[in-house]
Amino acid sequence: MKNFLKEVKRYQKNTDRKKYRIYLGQNERNTYLPDEVFDNFLSSIEQEDIFYYPDISPLEEKVANLYGVESENIMLTHGSDFGIKTIFDTFDVCCKNVVTSDYCFPMYNVYADLSETQVKKATYTGLNLDVNSIINLIDKNTQFIILANPNSPIGDSQSVENIRKILDTGVHLIVDEAYIELTNLKSSVELINEYENLTVLRTFSKAYGAAGLRVGVLISSKTNISNYYSKLRLMYPINSLGARYVDFIIKHHTFFLNYFKDISEGKKKFVEKLIEQGVEIRDTDCSWVFIKQNQNGKDLSELLELQRIHHRTNSLPGEEGMWIKLNYEPIIKNHDFNFS
């Protein structure tokens, strides 16, 4: 066995959801589909979806159309985290380095450890990462840069101009767009045919609410997909139920677009309500907001626990104390968040 695996740290924290009335700490969709919509999906499931191996080729064409690319530009993956693993397995990273940020998706570190590569991290000095702090870390051993846009947990984002600035270094850039549907950002997918050194990751887990079905998408140039990434694809990268649900999403895309709009408009009103109460907050470019944990002589985290509202706490770069991270969902519209 590989002895270095003993030093790789993996964490798994499971929370009993039954303890909470509202679950706002996991960045998962918590607003359920209306019964008539979900019943429509259930009625599309056939016994063959369980008996037979899935044929995903028709779905690949539909997913490619959704993102405005050709089917040869995409590869479906078992969640976007398997897409991340595929990238680490594709590049010659052993004993070299990759660049990311100090606040990042934990699996970047895990796959780096499993690949025996160094991770160089650009440091947040405030709530927005300076693109030059990323570029300045590049050296002759840098195999690729991986950045979430928007980033979690901070919730900041990089403009297309900044993405171009990184791409113009010539180093391969991985843009993880897991949360982009919950923002007003332009996707980097539009640059795929312009830059050979670009790979974009998308997922149906977050805004589309398919986290339990594990469907991600790796998007890059046709050459990168055919010559490299596709060599590492699983024999059946997603299961039949996941394929059915993604097909259902695409057929009812207007319904999901309305949900994204509801998130954007509802969050603005939620933030305004908190400000009116005099609550100290830090807004983000994404669907969540940070609330200072201790203010007005209260521990607001304790208040949320008493109300059985699931949340997380984070430190923030350049900010004192701990901050409560609350992911906005339409289900909280009528809940009285009274912190004053």
Which class for 327: exposed (0-12), middle (13-18), buried (19 or more C-beta within 10 A)? buried
pLDDT in tens, the chain (340 residues): 888 888 888 877 777 777 888 888 877 787 888 888 899 999 999 999 999 999 999 999 999 999 999 999 999 999 999 999 999 999 999 999 999 999 999 999 999 999 999 999 999 999 999 999 999 999 999 999 999 999 999 999 999 999 999 999 999 999 999 999 999 999 999 999 999 999 999 999 999 999 999 999 999 999 999 999 999 999 999 999 999 999 999 999 999 999 999 999 999 999 998 998 889 999 999 999 999 999 988 899 998 988 888 889 999 999 999 999 999 988 877 666 776 6
Domain 16-32+254-332 CATH superfamily? Aspartate Aminotransferase, domain 1 (3.90.1150.10)
Q: Which residues of the chain does CATH 3.40.640.10 include?
A: 44-252
pLDDT number for residue 164: 98
In one-letter notation, the amino acid at residue 247 is D
Q: What is the distance between the alpha carbons of residues 335 and 159, in angstroms, rounded to a whole number?
A: 34
Q: What is the distance between the alpha carbons of residues 264 and 259, in angstroms, rounded to a whole number?
A: 9
Q: Which residues of the chain does CATH 3.90.1150.10 include?
A: 16-32+254-332
CB 291 within 8 A of CB 339: yes
Q: How many helices (H) and strands (E) does the chain have?
A: 11, 15
Q: Looking at the domain that runs over 44-252, which CATH code has it been given?
A: 3.40.640.10
pLDDT number for residue 17: 76
CA angle at residue 325 from 272 to 338, to 5 degrees?
45
pTM, two decimal places: 0.94
The rounded radius of gyration (Å) of the Cα atoms in the chain is: 21
pLDDT number for residue 65: 97
Q: What is the distance between the alpha carbons of residues 221 and 235, in angstroms, rounded to a whole number?
A: 21
